[in-house]
Structure 1
Amino acid sequence: MLKNIRILLCLQQNTGYRDFLDIINSKSDNLLEITEASTLYKLLEESVPDKISLVFLDHFFMDKLSAEACSILGTPGFICIILTEDYYDSIVREAYVYDVLAYSNSSFVNNFLIRLEDDLKHRLEYQFLQKKLKKFDDISMKLTTEKNINNLLDLIIDSSMELTYAEAGTIYIVIDKNTSEWSYYENNAENKCLKFVLAKNKALTVDLEQQILSINKSSINGYTVLTEKSARIDDVYNISEAVAYKFNSSFDQLTGYRTKSMLNVPLKDHQGRILGVIQLINKKNKGISIPFDDTDELLASSLAGLAAVAIENAILYKMNEKLLESKTLKLQSTVEELNSAQIQLVQKEKMAAVGQLAAGVAHEINNPLGFIKSNHETMQKYIEKLISLIDIYKDFSKNCSNSNDISNITDYENKSKMEFIKEDIFELHKESSDGLNRIGVIVNALRAFSHIDQVDGLQEYDINQCILDTLTICSSKIKYTQIDIQNQLNDIPSVKCNAGEINQVILNILINAIDAILAKDPAGIGIIRIQTNVVDNFICFEIEDDGIGIPEEIQNRIFEPFYTTKPIGQGTGLGLNICYDIIVKKHHGEILVQSHPGLGSKFTIKLPK
């Protein structure tokens, strides 16, 4: 044991320790004699981490040690033994002192060194185990965080080989014969077999095809699955006849590789089900194959348990990932369907609003069309008479000497009322032009309301113009009431919006205001005030009526979809919900309502500048 340990022998003078020096020299090949405290400190600083150094220190050196040297000697990498001819209690109480060797004779020194070697052996074993546990803890952390199944299998085989010093390793998994999917084995399950999925060998390149193996006790892997126990074999070519399994040497014969020792551990999950087998081959110590020991089996079995849980988690993660992907695609499809349905609902609501005004709009267009048609017929007769008069003028020009021709012209002018036609034709033209302009205004307002030519997204629009266009659409509904529209459209900047949608909001609220006034007074006597202004960072417009108002108990529900207070068949319950969706969700604005039953309501819409 002492031959492999670095020994620092610090003696002020060695004449009194000659027998000790002879004994220690015979037991160590790595002994340094030191006579200066400064040299000792330098060697302490140069010590190799994780290596134990044994320091024999003449008690005369103790007073010469610096605080730094004492601190280093107190670390786990050093065992400091004080040499003295007498036993001093005060020496034992120093923090860095492991023990005191009170030198008396060779027999006492030998007994002390035997005990010291035993202590060193236990300390090295403890240190080795600590390293293994630290490595095992690091591997456990990696196993629990790895979600890719292929990376996980690589990590399992690499870690197993590293912990046990195995030269080669293989992973077999349990699969279902019918589906070839990863499965598990429990309670004499049928239709299960083992599939080789990964092999690594430090001695040669392994590139084997995946194989399917039956599960039975005649194979070492089958035995591991069926018994749910580890199989540790010192020499696979000298397996006892008392055991049921035999070693399959086909790999050795195919590659020339020589398998010696083997350790098989089951991949057992937390429910006791076997997911597969880890097979480790040829433990190496300085290039020599040696048997796997109890520590190897304990570490490999513990790792296999963690690995089984990690594999299960990785499989579940993959399944959940696929499920989530499927659900996401389905959700996307549902969202697209909902968006499509919402667009259709919005369009239907817009068409419903326009439908309520369709008869009035048609009447508004038919009025100018009626007198344009009448004027057109009259002007046709005027034109015919004028053409006839022109023809008479032509005849007259050919026979200008005939006085009867002049009389004919005068008679025709009087009969056809040419003087009246001269005056009336311009009036007819003016009326027709006014009618056409009126139709143009209505058509343009309808076009602005629908905004069929607007591309997706927001564009700069004048809210005042939106209000005027919408009022044009509503004019037919307002015309036959006594509602007074009071506009106070102030000078406001343009705002980025979808004008078609904003027009729909204005139209919905205006129709509600008209209906509220008619509900309060069927004669339609009332006032609608419309005002625009700038408040802070918002472009605002208000639509206020003095109609019937909204009951206080339902004011918090008016923006809910399909909620309406109108009689069946007169409202869809979507108007204000669509208004809320357009203003709040699409334009990131606000829509506020103030209402007092019997006094009226005011809707305030705020759009960010």
Structure 2
Amino acid sequence: MKNKKIVSDEFPATEKCQQARKKSLDAIIQKKQKAALPLHDNTVLDYKTSHRNLIDYMRNGYVYGKVIYEKRAAIDFIHQEVNTGYETITGLKNVIGKKISEIFPDINKTQSKFLEKHFRVAETGIPDRFEIYIEHLKKWFDVSVYCPQKGYFVSMFDEVTERKYYEFLLTFRLRILQMAECSSVEQLLQTTLDEAEQITQSRIGFAFFVAKDQMSLSLQSVSTNTEKVICPGKEKRKHIPLDKSGIWADAIREQRAVMNNYEPAIKHYMGMAKECETELIRELVVPVIRNDRIVATMGVGNKPEPYDGNDVRWVTILANLTWDIVAKKIAEEEREKLQQQLQQSQKMEMVGQLAAGMAHEINNPLNFIAINFANIREITSDLRIILTEYKIVTQKFEDGTLSPLDVQKLRKRESELNVEMLIDDIPEIIVESQRGFERITAVINSMRNLSHRYAIDKKIPFDINQGIIDTLTIARHEYSSCADIKTTLGELPLIACNPEQINQVFLNLIINSVHAIQSQKRHANGTITIQTWFDSSNVYCSIADDGPGIPEAIQKDIFNPFFTTKNSRNGTGLGLSISWDIIVVTHKGTLAFTTPAEGGTIFTLSLPRTNDD
């Protein structure tokens, strides 16, 4: 037991033991401190100098502030210390010892959030980081604040104005791209002008397109503020000669941005009408240049302060960014307009080809009805004769003078006029005439359905089976002499589509099948088979013929515009091209064909059951 070492962890120490142990430890610490190098005042000064140099060399701004309280509420702060970065970033000098309210007298109103965040850190000791726009400096800052001791704060900051603006531009571009799907060119330009006003602190904004000859401008859009407050009812697309366009003309002639910060009362410079209830005191105009030609100009005006190069930069960026989208939108609208014109032209071409047939489809029942009416006229005349005879016999019977000879004479007249046949013919003539009227009505209704005009982007619920029936009615004269029609039309759900366009596709495909069969000059009729069906995603229609098929050498070209193997009398080569555009591009469906080994051609189209467009 004598050699056993007693460890404090094994036995509880008395208070006396604890005091002895503490004394021993203090002695050891003092001994080590004496052995260490002494820390002189110069070393402390060197440390502070190094610390100060480090802060000054920082790229970030630095401020050490003391919060000022009034009735225990934080109301202001004093700059205790700042670095060179602070002066460089903010442009403020000689701020040490000054209150922030001395530098920015209205900061409690304009930047209350900025003050609150610094006060909260100095009070709670909880650090914070945030981004904020300082109105007085016209800059964005990324700020980090921490508390070295209660009532004080250290704020480290860096300017992030460029990054914020580029973030804004990215967001703005995405917004414009999303808007482009469903907004007009005027709306896109107005949105851009609104943003240009906001970013430059302007109060009016205009966008003009420039004529190709560079000799006039046409107003396309104004900002929301300009439209509602300053120039309500401003006439759009009014051409303004260049010599009456002020500095807008200068921007076009010199192909550069132009500012006017000094000349007041320059209403006419922006082509502003007399009804505009404002006086233009400042303006900035930037041109949009493409291929060395001014295509548009965008301008803002009435900024409280003079415009500068930064304003030029951002309005130019916005104008060019939007123009790329607007130009694409204009090109798409022009393409849609041309496509609509081509569709209408091709439709009229088909109607022209079918005109004689449709006239025949109406004339046949009309002639039949006319013959029936002539028969009715003759029957009516004969019936009037026999009715007269009946009246005479009846009168004699009532007078008591009727003789057997009178009855014999009446019977002879009945036989001569064949009264029984007349009576039997009347219902048949009426039924046949009714069929003729129904046939004419069907043709007229089908013509009306096929010729009804819808807006090019209009989609309504439609039964494509009815479209096929109407098309077959219109085209009957074309196929009746060369082809038999077989239809298997399944019960279909309605689909959202443009009926006018879908019917045009059916007509194109059916007439193509007719022409294919006619090209064989066969003695017996060919067959055109039409089927419809659907699944969970699409509605389908196939139109098949037993004609010669499509040669492999030209299969790749059949959907190209103006490609045709027909003579000029039978087409211009637009039918399949337009059908492809209607089904695939406009309706997001599919259009394909196959040529079976046994001959003929099968065109199959599909249309989505749900069409988000």
TM-score scaled by length of structure 2: 0.50
Structure 1 position 488 matched with structure 2 position 488: yes
Q: Distance in 2 between matches of 1:193 and 1:361?
A: 68
Q: Give 1:371 deviation, angstroms.
A: 1.7
8 A contact 1:549–1:597 mirrored in 2: no
Alignment of 1:72-91 (within 5 A): 91=37
SS of residue matched to 1:528: strand
Q: Which residue of 1 aligns with 2:509?
A: 509
The alpha-carbon distance between structure 1 residues 584 and 456, as it changes in their structure 2 partners (threshold 3 A), is closer
Deviations 1:2-39 (A, max 9, x none): xxxxxxxxxxxxxxxxxxxxxxxxxxxxxxxxxxxxxx
Q: Distance in 2 between matches of 1:464 and 1:118?
A: 94
Structure 1 position 390 matched with structure 2 position 387: yes
The alpha-carbon distance between structure 1 residues 329 and 405, as it changes in their structure 2 partners (threshold 3 A), is farther
Q: Give 1:325 deviation, angstroms.
A: 5.2
Q: Give 1:380 deviation, angstroms.
A: 1.0
The alpha-carbon distance between structure 1 residues 425 and 607, as it changes in their structure 2 partners (threshold 3 A), is same
The alpha-carbon distance between structure 1 residues 571 and 511, as it changes in their structure 2 partners (threshold 3 A), is same
8 A contact 2:454–2:500 mirrored in 1: no
Max Rg structure: 1
Q: Which residue of 1 aligns with 2:450?
A: 449
Q: Distance in 1 between matches of 2:553 and 2:431?
A: 55
Q: Which residue of 1 aligns with 2:438?
A: 437
Matched to 1:485, the amino acid is I
Q: Which residue of 1 aligns with 2:350?
A: 353
The alpha-carbon distance between structure 1 residues 535 and 179, as it changes in their structure 2 partners (threshold 3 A), is closer
Q: Which residue of 2 aligns with 1:318?
A: 315
Q: Distance in 2 between matches of 1:194 and 1:385?
A: 101
Q: Distance in 1 between matches of 2:601 and 2:492?
A: 24
8 A contact 1:547–1:601 mirrored in 2: yes
User: What is the CA RMSD across the aligned residues, in angstroms?
Assistant: 4.5
Q: Which residue of 2 aligns with 1:376?
A: 373
The alpha-carbon distance between structure 1 residues 560 and 313, as it changes in their structure 2 partners (threshold 3 A), is farther
Deviations 1:513-540 (A, max 9, x none): 1212222345475332222233453222
Q: Give 1:372 deviation, angstroms.
A: 1.1
Alignment of 1:529-568 (within 5 A): 529-535=529-535, 537-568=537-568
Q: Distance in 2 between matches of 1:321 and 1:432?
A: 71
Q: Give 1:508 deviation, angstroms.
A: 0.9
SS of residue matched to 2:519: helix
Q: Which residue of 2 aligns with 1:141?
A: 160
Alignment of 1:210-609 (within 5 A): 312=309, 314-322=311-319, 332=329, 335-400=332-397, 401-403=401-403, 406=407, 409-451=410-452, 457-481=458-482, 483-521=483-521, 523=523, 525-535=525-535, 537-595=537-595, 599-609=599-609
Q: Give 1:573 deviation, angstroms.
A: 2.4
SS of residue matched to 1:550: coil
Matched to 2:546, the amino acid is D
Matched to 1:346, the amino acid is Q
Q: Distance in 2 between matches of 1:392 and 1:468?
A: 52
8 A contact 2:454–2:498 mirrored in 1: no
Q: Which residue of 2 aligns with 1:201?
A: none
Matched to 2:369, the amino acid is I
8 A contact 1:143–1:152 mirrored in 2: no
Q: Give 1:575 deviation, angstroms.
A: 1.3
Alignment of 1:115-154 (within 5 A): 117=45, 120-121=48-49, 123-130=51-58, 131=61, 132=83, 134-135=85-86, 136=88, 140-142=159-161, 145-146=164-165
The alpha-carbon distance between structure 1 residues 385 and 196, as it changes in their structure 2 partners (threshold 3 A), is closer
Matched to 1:606, the amino acid is S
- When structure 1 is superposed on structure 2, of 511-520 and 337-346 the one drifting more is 337-346
Q: Which runs of 5+ in 2 are unaligned?
A: 1-25, 62-82, 90-140, 142-157, 170-194, 202-244, 251-257, 265-280, 283-306
8 A contact 1:550–1:596 mirrored in 2: no
Deviations 1:128-148 (A, max 9, x none): 453445544656532564488
- When structure 1 is superposed on structure 2, of 586-595 and 439-448 the one drifting more is 439-448
The alpha-carbon distance between structure 1 residues 508 and 430, as it changes in their structure 2 partners (threshold 3 A), is same
8 A contact 2:481–2:525 mirrored in 1: no
Q: Give 1:123 deviation, angstroms.
A: 4.5
8 A contact 2:532–2:540 mirrored in 1: yes
Q: Distance in 2 between matches of 1:319 and 1:459?
A: 42
SS of residue matched to 2:475: helix
The alpha-carbon distance between structure 1 residues 406 and 441, as it changes in their structure 2 partners (threshold 3 A), is same
8 A contact 1:513–1:545 mirrored in 2: yes
8 A contact 2:594–2:601 mirrored in 1: yes
Q: Distance in 2 between matches of 1:338 and 1:125?
A: 66
Alignment of 1:46-65 (within 5 A): 63=29
Q: Give 1:593 deviation, angstroms.
A: 1.5
Q: Give 1:412 deviation, angstroms.
A: 3.9
Q: Give 1:574 deviation, angstroms.
A: 2.1
8 A contact 2:547–2:601 mirrored in 1: yes
TM-score scaled by length of structure 1: 0.51
Q: Give 1:363 deviation, angstroms.
A: 1.4
The alpha-carbon distance between structure 1 residues 123 and 152, as it changes in their structure 2 partners (threshold 3 A), is farther
Q: Give 1:507 deviation, angstroms.
A: 1.6
8 A contact 1:559–1:580 mirrored in 2: yes
Q: Distance in 1 between matches of 2:332 and 2:470?
A: 33
Identity score, percent? 31
Q: Give 1:582 deviation, angstroms.
A: 2.2
Matched to 1:563, the amino acid is F
The alpha-carbon distance between structure 1 residues 544 and 353, as it changes in their structure 2 partners (threshold 3 A), is same
